[in-house]
Chains A and B, each alone.
Chain A
Amino acid sequence: MAQTVFAPWDDPTQRPLIQFKGVTKRFGEFVAIDNLTQDIYEKEFFALLGPSGCGKTTMMRMLAGFENPTEGQILLAGQDMAHVPPNQRAVNMMFQSYALFPHLTVWENIAFGLKRQKMPRHDLDERVDEMLRLTRLSKFAKRKPHQISGGQRQRVALARSLARAPKLLLLDEPLGALDKKLRQDTQFELMDIQEKTGTTFVIVTHDQEEAMTVASRVAVMDEGSIIQVATPANIYEAPNSVYVADFIGDVNIIEGAATRTAEGYDIAWAEGQPPFHAKTPVVLGNGGPAYLAIRPEKISISAEKPDDAGNTVRGRIIDIAYLGNISTYHVEIPGGTMIKAQSANTRRLSRRSFTWEDEVWLSWTDTAGIVLER
């Protein structure tokens, strides 16, 4: 871990760069954004994550100025942006389609925004060259967009939107058009560039892995509202709802009735079975019905009943998915619930310990599960 953690959202003396204040956006009858309030801080890499139609793109387009809020305010550095048109905002956007001008070269694309500022010729040349270097595109300056690869186009789009040194850069699914391998490399490149330029980035994505990799904070959205905002680690390890737990990564959700214990809750999940224990500081509003959410990688699988585990349950292997680095076992436990358990394949070509129809023991610690309200 770094010595000083970057967490301006925990520092009450920091003033946010962007403030959404009770913003609602309606398109006719349809409510795209529902009374949303959210702060975003300078130098943050803020990810808006959610399924299509959740309102994340609308939020971004309101920041860019292509849409205006129906109600509420959006402040940028304390200034209300309501009547500032897109061409006068210190905000630039990297479009999902990249929107590179096909009739202009890479160089002219990057220079496009600078020319609108009437930047002197000499400074302009320098700035474009700097952007080309930053995005490793110097060799391609004279090419047209259709003469370069998808990854290069993505970098041109990034360079073009960064050239005007915006206070805020919006990225709409910036890596959506790239294949998986290239996407992973580009994610690190994006983080690198964000750090070098010190620009605030807001990224819209439906790819949770991408959001987790690049963002300082992730906002999980659904139906026009933000469900949870937290660092990637907290979103994963401490989701505040079944929706978030389910949206980010893989999770087992066990329904049951919770009763308060000294350190957390006991979850009764099936008749005639001992309850599962969960240590948690969280206090449920109402005892009784609850969910227990456990990540598959936190469940171990063994042939014999382990002695030291907080929770154990016996089950039968129904399905095995071999994914190379890990294997996922689908295990049916009493009552018919299916539980996914993962184990890392640390040894190459080892004889598989378990096979279909094997009776096995699943176990996890008391702190592995999260109790969520039903």
Chain B
Amino acid sequence: MRRFTLIAVPYLWLLALFLVPFLIVLKISLSDTALAIPPYTPTLDFSGGWSAIKDFFSKLDFENFIFLTEDDLYWKAYLSSLQIAGISTLLTLLVGYPIAYGMVQAPDEWRPTLMMLVILPFWTSFLIRVYSWMGILSNEGFLNQFLLWTGLISEPLIILNTKIAVYIGIVYTYLPFMILPIYAALEKLDISLLEAAEDLGCSRLSAFWLVTIPLSKGGIIAGSFLVFIPALGEFVIPSLLGGSGTLMIGKILWEEFFSNRDWPVASAVAVILLLILIIPIILFQRNEQKAREADQ
């Protein structure tokens, strides 16, 4: 009986507040927009009995999805999200790997401090961290002031409200998610493997390419997914740093919902975003599974 309660309470909670809402999204994505409250039809009315339910299902269609394919705003936004998430994941990897590597090489007594320094931003408000770049990247911002002062440029660079600002924002906010799994993978690396590689004729650099990189592959993949997946549906970064010219699907969804009040289209956008996410999520799960098996 106790076991039943133990399972039932969290189970029902998640059913009611995770699965059911999601089914509602799915259902509304198949409905039509209407000038009503709520602003869509049909609405399910159980009091009408079986025929009403049948009637309800017959009115659902894929019209909204067809609309999404017809208006090139949407598929451009999906492609642009994929591109921005992909490029910024790569940039995060390039920035994060040397940091994780440096942390592993650092003296033991530094490690807790370095670790804390990586984790600290994670506890700080995401919104504030994104916001802090607005003052740096703007036309009269610190970066431009600095570059003008050094004489590297003669006119301010336009960075804020471009894709570059979004890349910087994503790299900055998701960097800890890249560093931590790579650090964990590198820390597990047995130093005698590198010694063995040198003993067998490797230079330090070739030992790095032939041993360190392949053996931290699990961490690289995990970190990349941890950046790519949330970046794909990102809303705050493109809306604060990307300006109106940067298309990202999270932003489109938000605007569709709050500005256009087109709930069925917003729901369809959400459903497609999820379908796109399923592939990287499954790949990520596989990678984690493999890592767990390798640990045993």
Establish whether residues A113 and B198, one from each chain, have CB atoms under 8 Å apart when the complex forms: no
Partner pick for A99 among B193, B201, B217, CB 8 A cutoff: B193
Establish whether residues B203 and A86, one from each chain, have CB atoms under 8 Å apart when the complex forms: no
Q: B119 interface residue, CB < 8 Å from A?
A: no
Name the A residues within 8 Å of B124 (CB-CB). Answer: none
CB distance from B34 to the nearest CB of A (A): 58
Interface residues of A in 204-240 (CB under 8 A from B): none
B interface residues, how many (CB within 8 angstroms)? 19
Establish whether residues B199 and A97, one from each chain, have CB atoms under 8 Å apart when the complex forms: no
Name the B residues within 8 Å of A103 (CB-CB). Answer: 214-215, 217
Known: A113-B201, A116-B202. A95 touches B211 (CB 8 A): no
Establish whether residues B200 and A112, one from each chain, have CB atoms under 8 Å apart when the complex forms: yes
Establish whether residues B211 and A101, one from each chain, have CB atoms under 8 Å apart when the complex forms: yes
Interface residues of B in 213-230 (CB under 8 A from A): 214-215, 217
Q: A117 interface residue, CB < 8 Å from B?
A: yes
Partner pick for B199 among A87, A96, A101, CB 8 A cutoff: A87
Known: A99-B190, A103-B215. A164 touches B201 (CB 8 A): yes
Name the B residues within 8 Å of A164 (CB-CB). Answer: 200-201
Establish whether residues B199 and A92, one from each chain, have CB atoms under 8 Å apart when the complex forms: yes
CB distance from A171 to the nearest CB of B (A): 12
A interface residues, how many (CB within 8 angstroms)? 25
CB distance from A201 to the nearest CB of B (A): 15
Partner pick for B195 among A66, A102, A113, A117, CB 8 A cutoff: A66
Chain B interface mostly: helix
Q: A277 interface residue, CB < 8 Å from B?
A: no
Q: A78 interface residue, CB < 8 Å from B?
A: no
Establish whether residues A92 and B200, one from each chain, have CB atoms under 8 Å apart when the complex forms: yes
Name the A residues within 8 Å of B69 (CB-CB). Answer: none
Interface residues of A in 60-109 (CB under 8 A from B): 64-66, 85-88, 91-93, 95-97, 99, 101-103
Q: A316 interface residue, CB < 8 Å from B?
A: no
Name the B residues within 8 Å of A112 (CB-CB). Answer: 197, 200, 210
Q: A295 interface residue, CB < 8 Å from B?
A: no
CB distance from A65 to the nearest CB of B (A): 8
Establish whether residues A86 and B195, one from each chain, have CB atoms under 8 Å apart when the complex forms: yes
Chain A residue, CB-CB nearest to B193 = A99
Name the B residues within 8 Å of A56 (CB-CB). Answer: none
Name the A residues within 8 Å of B127 (CB-CB). Answer: none
Partner pick for B192 among A88, A99, A117, CB 8 A cutoff: A99
Known: A95-B195, A116-B206. A160 touches B190 (CB 8 A): no
Establish whether residues B198 and A101, one from each chain, have CB atoms under 8 Å apart when the complex forms: no
Name the A residues within 8 Å of B203 (CB-CB). Answer: 87
Chain A residue, CB-CB nearest to B191 = A99
> CA A93 – CA B199 in complex, angstroms?
7
> CA A99 – CA B199 in complex, angstroms?
11
CB distance from B156 to the nearest CB of A (A): 48
Chain B residue, CB-CB nearest to A115 = B201
> CA A139 – CA B175 in complex, angstroms?
45
CB distance from A131 to the nearest CB of B (A): 13
Q: B196 interface residue, CB < 8 Å from A?
A: yes
Establish whether residues A86 and B193, one from each chain, have CB atoms under 8 Å apart when the complex forms: no
Chain A residue, CB-CB nearest to B296 = A146
> CA A66 – CA B191 in complex, angstroms?
12
Name the B residues within 8 Å of A65 (CB-CB). Answer: 199
Name the B residues within 8 Å of A93 (CB-CB). Answer: 195-196, 199
CB distance from B182 to the nearest CB of A (A): 16
Q: Which residues of A contact B (CB under 8 A)?
A: 64-66, 85-88, 91-93, 95-97, 99, 101-103, 112-113, 116-117, 146, 160-161, 164
Q: Which residues of B contact A (CB under 8 A)?
A: 190, 192-193, 195-203, 206, 210-211, 214-215, 217, 294
User: Top 3 nearest A-B pairs by Cβ distance?
Assistant: A116-B201, A113-B200, A99-B196
Please name 28 pairs of A and B residues whose Cβ atoms are closer than 8 Å in the assembled complex, sorted by A: A64-B195, A65-B199, A85-B198, A87-B199, A87-B201, A92-B199, A92-B200, A95-B192, A97-B190, A99-B192, A99-B193, A99-B195, A101-B193, A101-B196, A101-B215, A103-B214, A103-B215, A103-B217, A112-B200, A113-B199, A113-B201, A116-B200, A116-B201, A116-B202, A117-B201, A160-B196, A161-B200, A164-B201
